[in-house]
Chains A and B, each alone.
Chain A
Amino acid sequence: MGLYRDEAIVLRTQKLGEADRIVTLLTREHGQLRAVAKGVRRTTSRFGSRLEPATHVDLQLHTGKNLEIVTQAETINPYGDVISRDYQKWTVASAMLETAERFTSMEHEPALQQFLLLFSALRSLSTSSHDASLILDAFLLRSLAVGGYAPSFSQCSRCGASGPHRWFSLVAGGSVCVDCRPTGSATSATDTLELLTALLTGDWDSAETSTPRARREASGLVAAYLSWHMERNLRSLPLVERV
């Protein structure tokens, strides 16, 4: 493809050789890409902080033999810098970046929705527009929805009977009615389900009024639902600080 430009969010960085790094990027047009940033670890590198995780950048890339090569980078939004000054936000952002990486694992396959979702979540996190823990749960739920695993909270996920229903099943994909519930279904409080629905649909006004107990329960359900569908646990999720 030669030289091309794209907008990206840096998901992860890995050291390569003496002073280089491999950066995993989620781009607006080309989906997930892995690119080499040469000399980025030197203090005099012209890339500086532009290729740090969670940074929103405008890039010029060159197609290399195996990986892309970053030839130019300009910061659009330095979200990472703001986020790393608050430890809780940093752990939340790490979980979001890891989730986005997992959901877009096919390189070069456009993933615009996932990109926009991550972009808005990082913006909310850096401007503290909502509680960090709620932003994470909303992001995880919507990532699942974009990936085709949208859980159902308002009706039974098996027979479609309208709810709310008391039982929640990971296997069935959300709330289940008394007749459909498989063995091992968890019971959940009505306000937890209301919170989950609000987070999935972006109803922040009602999400912000939720009780700490509902938030704790919702976080637990979201984490369990996510690891069930991803078939592997996220490494960063247990390290997230929930206040």
Chain B
Amino acid sequence: MYEGVVQDLIDELGRLPGVGPKSAQRIAFYLLQADPADVRRLVEVLTTVKEKVRFCATCGNVSEEELCRICRDPRRDTTMICVVEESKDVIAIEKTREFRGTYHVLGGAISPIEGIGPDNLRIRELMTRLANVEIKELILATDPNLEGEATATYLARLVKGMGFTVSRLASGLPVGGDLEYADEVTLGRAFEGRRSLEY
């Protein structure tokens, strides 16, 4: 145990995800030896992030203003909405530079075993959005695990007959992997979604 404030710092750092007691101690001593200006900058960023960051009123993504950067951008195609579980997924899709539409962040997936039902997610907001804006395609990009799959199934059933295309991200073999190690479900889906090669 260290004295007073040093131990407090170690304890606080130890509460962060993925930081164990040893790592917390290492970070604490790094901060003690670091340049005061660097530490001040870190403190400022931490304070600002808590004060400024909120959730976009339209899509639920993290934002510093009423609307997030993507929802504010007039070049974005608002007739396409991509539904994702978390803000982290928006960034992952943005990195691909394949999608020019807008997003909707659900805030998780339906998981009855954890007590999370449709009412605990931003599904009602999605339905309001779908009713008020002209939509051509709704892309369900929830995680390719069972909870994500079940959430996509639920949403697809909910918006049935609303007059736009509903699509689901393809599942299949990861680039850079070996076919022999692919599990049966993934390989089965890869077969289901195979495409013809025409030159």
Contacts and interface: CB of A to CB of B under 8 A. Distances in A.
The answer to whether A and B come from one shared complex is: yes
Interface in B140-171: 145-146, 149-150, 153-154, 157
A7 interface: no
B35 interface: no
A48 B157 contact: no
A19 B66 CA distance: 33
Number of chain A interface residues as a range = 20 to 34
A44 B183 contact: no
A87 to B, nearest CB: 5
Contact of B146 (A75, A84, A240): A84
Of the candidates B18, B149, B174, B176, the one having the most CB atoms from chain A within 10 angstroms of its own CB is B149
A78 B184 contact: yes
Given A85-B149, A90-B153, A46 B112 contact: no
B158 to A, nearest CB: 9
Contacts of B199: none
B182 interface: yes
Given A44-B174, A78-B185, A84-B150, A52 B145 contact: yes
Contact of B113 (A78, A81, A94): A94
B181 to A, nearest CB: 5
- Which are the 9 A-B pairs with shortest beta-carbon distances? A48-B183, A236-B112, A235-B115, A94-B112, A49-B185, A84-B149, A90-B150, A239-B112, A239-B117
Interface of A: 12, 17-18, 43-44, 46-50, 52-54, 75, 78, 80-81, 83-87, 90-91, 94-95, 97-98, 235-236, 238-240
